[in-house]
Structure 1
Amino acid sequence: MGQRPNVLTPEQSPQHRLGYMIRELREARGLSMRELATKLFVSHAKVQRWENGERPPKDRGEVELIDRALGAGGFLIEMWQEIGRGVSAPEHVSESAAHVSDTSLSLATVVSQAATSDGEGIFVPARLDDGTVVLVALDRRAVLRAGMGIGTAAVAGLPVPPATAVGGAEDPFGFARSVTENWSGLRLSRPVPDYGVDWQALVPGGRSMLGSQLSLQVHPARIEGGRVIVSIPDQRRAEEFLTRPNRNLLVGAVAAEGASQFYVLDGRSARGRLTKNGGVYEVTAPTAYELDDLTQGILWAVANYDDALQADDQALAETRSDLKAYERLSASAVSREAAPGLNTVAHMWLGSDFCARHILRALPDLPTLPSFWTREQRGEEASAWLIFNHKFPYLRETTKVLGSTSTRAFCIPEEVVRSSPRYERILLFLAVALMESLGIHAQFTTDPAYEAVEGFVVAPEKEAVIANWVRGDGMWHVDVTARSSTVREFTIAARDVDADSITAAPTPAGRLRALAQYLDLPWSWLIERCGQLARHGSSGLIQSRSRLVSAAGIDAACAYVGSLPADR
């Protein structure tokens, strides 16, 4: 059996170029011929014939399996298609220095030409404005990375089709297509140089959230024994990715009928789970980490809040200390100009924290059992109850101080529900579930007339505590008042919602089921998915970096929802 040369020439056949690139990719991933044969369920001899160019893959299905196993991003399929029509070398070469026409070259053609040299540079044909064909120098490694779906190779005046095409051959698992179709605000790109990153994800912000950024590495995966096993053929690339200090997520793609299912694992969690199975490294993750609206909502909220708070950590701590003087006052309204260097999420955290402590100071002095009113309407606002480190302890402390159940009213008009994406509605639902788990009866009105009511705690007809940081003019507005007009206004609002709540029911499960119906969320699915996530915790999905962010609220809410009856 003949040996192929170490370096190909442009005159060699397309099937020899295809075989060469199969070998290049296999060796780059640290696989022997036998290991690749085992992954593909073929013989060692068959792999050898592919690589020698003696007998290329017989059909498209076979080459697609090879392409996916080697993470080639579709360009092996393009090279295989070249076998039927051949690739000819340029007929005329000129050394003229002139502008290169903006004519895109086939990515497969450019990558196959990377085999024409064993040096760092390669030459590809391009046509000048006058029709003359010239050879343009490109960096060989950049071209190979682009062909493998890792980066983008380009040279001035000579565009090379990027490996970021959503839904194209460079997205072999359909990951980019799937996530951008399901969550339209998400933006994916491929960095160059990539440093082990397959996709850079720009996570959208919100009305106050600023947006975030995630690094992703995608690998094939399978489900065994109720677990997801992610296969990582290139350990060096995985280590390069997982040891970076920025937030990164490992994504496992499990082939399913019609489309892949994706499972997400926080990079820090994945780092300690690498094990070797034969010649392939693997990471195990729970199936509870499937990427859907539940996990997407958690990823979105945690990444946004965590990154923004961590970015302003030192300045926020200093500002909180500076603003402590306001705690001696029974009333204050502090503008955002009091903390001009902080971002909007840091302002939110300061306002929420101050209002929580203001209410806890005032609660013991209220003459009768109070009713609470909160202004949160959307998942962005409500997720603070799940994520800010002081919110869950505040809820538990209020229950302890009151010594009995209490009520908390919300105003969520139908238009707000219609304009909120599903993952935000799930976050709102979880925040309310967290309250119900502590004996707080949630009540809801859809009347837009109540949207302007500030957050308050009212002892009916007696006294009121104002504490508002949501959608206000400043960071917070707090007060303690017995002013009859104010107390009367709050008393009427609380009684109106109590008398006509759209979620009225005698049990927490009944109220939450009515809320799920209003928010157009499937009840049985919520119980099943929250129960799955509660068994493993959310920290393996995404770990917080800021000391001001906690997963305790998310996990407690999921555990409670997962314990509810699915049939009533």
Structure 2
Amino acid sequence: MTHSEESRARTVVPLLYHLLDAPELNCASPTKFGVLWPIMADDAAKALQEPRLARVRPSPATYKRWLAGTHIPRGDLRTILETYFGKKVEFLFQLVPIRNFVRPRPLDRRTRTAVRTLDYTWPTSRHVPGDPDVGIFGSWELTGGRHFDGTSIGVQVYEAQPRGDAMEISPEDLRHLKTFVHSSRRGVILASPGAAGGSGLYVMDAALARQNFVVGQAPRVPAAYQLDDLVYAVIWALHVMDDGLLADDNPLSDRAEELRHYVRISNSAPPRSEMPDLSPIGAAWLGSSLCAQYIVRHLGDLPEVPAFWTREATGEECAPWLLFRHKHDYLQNVADRFAGPGSALGRAFCVPESVVRASEGYERILLFLTIAMMEMYGVKVWLTAGQEYQEVEGFVLARNQAILANWVRGESVWRVATTSSRWEVAPYREAIGNVRAHSLVDGPTPAARLAALADYLDLDWTWLTGRCRGLAEEGFTSVLRPRSRLLTLQALDRTLRFIGRLGSPSDAR
């Protein structure tokens, strides 16, 4: 046999082998096949009403010749095989490639316990184990909330050793890790020190791990990226929005000129039914982008420093502020125009107590991060819990002029308009005046206001500021990577640094 023939013999086998080796049978070995065959023969005898078939047996040598592809069964052997598999022998014995899968090492009991926390710690999280025997990786299901669709990402868990300020994946797992990360599918790595006696899970984007391999480095997962409410909040928001935007990439691109048209006209409110091809995330991005551009276009006409009203009240609704790239361009534009020492620039939020009680911890963290981001840009935040203000649409108010711009919880993709009518402006002026005078997070400094906000949202201020400080040293851009060009993590990293610098509760108050 030539070298090429030997190579071919090692890399291709009859389809019969794959069918027998499938997890539901697992009978490709001669011993197990010997146990299966009487069952096959008996089934054929009953199906064809031919009792003699039940007594037919191939020898072990015959079976080995079948797998080697040097012998094709005939007569009763052929009949039994065709009856059991429902395929002609010629089909069963066509040669197909052997797919050699790199199997991961078995996980420690403590690591398996840690992985199960994905199923009960967060209601929007579910881990679906893969099948290492056939090369199928696991998946992490991130279900949607009240407004946005969910998504699914690939996930693989590895044992790791704590080394200084990072988790190092065992060298024995690197071959499998390379297999996992060299795929265009979105995925994350979860490193666990369970076998080393540690606890918890540490997360890293598979794309960033692949970059490490490209430059000749073994991936190390910084200990700062331990999976908790804060890290999960960002993972959930990023992947849900990223996949939604990628799904809508073409229709959003096609609407670029249409969007410019709507920015130029005085008012508009296209119904959601006019854009059925967009996902909830795509519609949110389009509405948010239009509102931001519309407001910026009219800022130069305002007679004084404006006050803003934001309709977002939950972490899910606020997530676009943290990650949409155009949101930060818009906030920077506002800050450049109006922010500064002694400025009256402010933004009002309405977050009723019932909304806080109904929100999971990770969602409340997303809300906190959003409001902290406003303060970082020099925008003082006012907060009310008044139910009567819950449905007030987003607007910008300056003296007797109001810019209406809303895309949250509306029947239209967005609604924008401007008015200087005294009776139309009056409700906006009353709302802003009331919230500014009775803000639940009033204080002389951003630290004082955000500490009060943490109390209202039932978040541990000391833990939160310390956690933000630790994450800021690494940055989310070092652990996660958006795929859509419409998203960014850079402003979120700046917000983490801002929060981290605010100090302890005593310093804040």
TM tier relative to shorter chain: 0.7 to 0.9
Q: Is 2:43 aligned against 1:97?
A: yes
Match of 2:423 among 477, 485, 498: 485
Maintained 8 Å contact 1:173/1:260 = no
From the two aligned structures, give the one with the greater helix fraction.
2
Distance 1:232 1:205, change over 3 A: farther
| Distance in 2 of aligned mates of 1:493 and 1:426 | 26
Match of 1:465 among 385, 397, 403: 403
CA RMSD of superposed structures (Å): 3.4
Q: Is 2:164 aligned against 1:218?
A: no
Instruction: Tell me how far 1:480 sits from its aligned partner.
Output: 0.8
Task: Indicate the residue corresponding to 1:369 in structure 2.
Answer: 305
Residues 73-110 of structure 1 show CA distances to partners (whole Å, capped at 9, x for unaligned) of xxxxxxxxxxxxxxxx98x96542189xxxxxxxxxxx
Distance 1:426 1:196, change over 3 A: farther
Q: Which runs of 5+ in 1 are unaligned?
A: 1-88, 100-116, 122-135, 151-168
Maintained 8 Å contact 2:351/2:385 = yes
Maintained 8 Å contact 1:413/1:445 = yes
Task: Indicate the residue corresponding to 2:475 in structure 1.
Answer: 537
State the secondary structure of the residue aligned to 1:261. Answer: coil
Task: Indicate the residue corresponding to 2:320 in structure 1.
Answer: 384
| Distance in 1 of aligned mates of 2:196 and 2:154 | 27
| Distance in 1 of aligned mates of 2:177 and 2:136 | 9
Distance 1:534 1:197, change over 3 A: farther
State the secondary structure of the residue aligned to 1:539. Answer: helix
Match of 1:308 among 244, 247, 250: 244
Q: Structure 1 counterpart of 2:199, which letter?
A: S
Distance 1:175 1:197, change over 3 A: farther
| Distance in 1 of aligned mates of 2:64 and 2:435 | 75
Distance 1:510 1:98, change over 3 A: farther
Q: Is 2:371 aligned against 1:432?
A: yes
Instruction: Tell me how far 1:194 sits from its aligned partner.
Output: 7.4
Of 396-405 and 204-213, more deviation after overlay is shown by 396-405
Task: Indicate the residue corresponding to 1:54 in structure 2.
Answer: none
State the secondary structure of the residue aligned to 2:405. Answer: strand
Q: Is 2:271 aligned against 1:332?
A: no
State the secondary structure of the residue aligned to 1:260. Answer: coil
Q: Is 2:401 aligned against 1:455?
A: no
Task: Indicate the residue corresponding to 2:185 in structure 1.
Answer: 246
Query: What is the TM-score of this pair, normalised by structure 2?
Result: 0.77
Q: Is 2:442 aligned against 1:496?
A: no
Maintained 8 Å contact 1:374/1:409 = yes
The count of residues paired between Structure 1 and Structure 2 equals: 427
| Distance in 2 of aligned mates of 1:394 and 1:147 | 46
Instruction: Tell me how far 1:349 sits from its aligned partner.
Output: 0.4
Maintained 8 Å contact 1:308/1:345 = yes
Q: Structure 1 counterpart of 2:415, which letter?
A: H
| Distance in 2 of aligned mates of 1:566 and 1:387 | 27
Of 483-492 and 506-515, more deviation after overlay is shown by 483-492
Maintained 8 Å contact 1:386/1:552 = no
Task: Indicate the residue corresponding to 1:166 in structure 2.
Answer: none
Q: Which runs of 5+ in 2 are unaligned?
A: 1-33, 46-62, 68-83, 86-97
State the secondary structure of the residue aligned to 1:223. Answer: strand
| Distance in 2 of aligned mates of 1:120 and 1:349 | 59
Residues 408-459 of structure 1 show CA distances to partners (whole Å, capped at 9, x for unaligned) of 0000001111111111111110111111011111111111110111101111
Instruction: Tell me how far 1:283 sits from its aligned partner.
Output: 2.3
Distance 1:518 1:295, change over 3 A: same
State the secondary structure of the residue aligned to 2:158. Answer: strand
Maintained 8 Å contact 2:259/2:290 = no
Task: Indicate the residue corresponding to 1:132 in structure 2.
Answer: none
Q: Is 2:503 aligned against 1:557?
A: no
| Distance in 2 of aligned mates of 1:200 and 1:194 | 16
Match of 2:444 among 502, 506, 510: 506
Maintained 8 Å contact 1:231/1:282 = no
Instruction: Tell me how far 1:258 sits from its aligned partner.
Output: 8.6
| Distance in 2 of aligned mates of 1:499 and 1:119 | 88
| Distance in 1 of aligned mates of 2:130 and 2:471 | 32
Instruction: Tell me how far 1:364 sits from its aligned partner.
Output: 1.5
State the secondary structure of the residue aligned to 1:480. Answer: strand
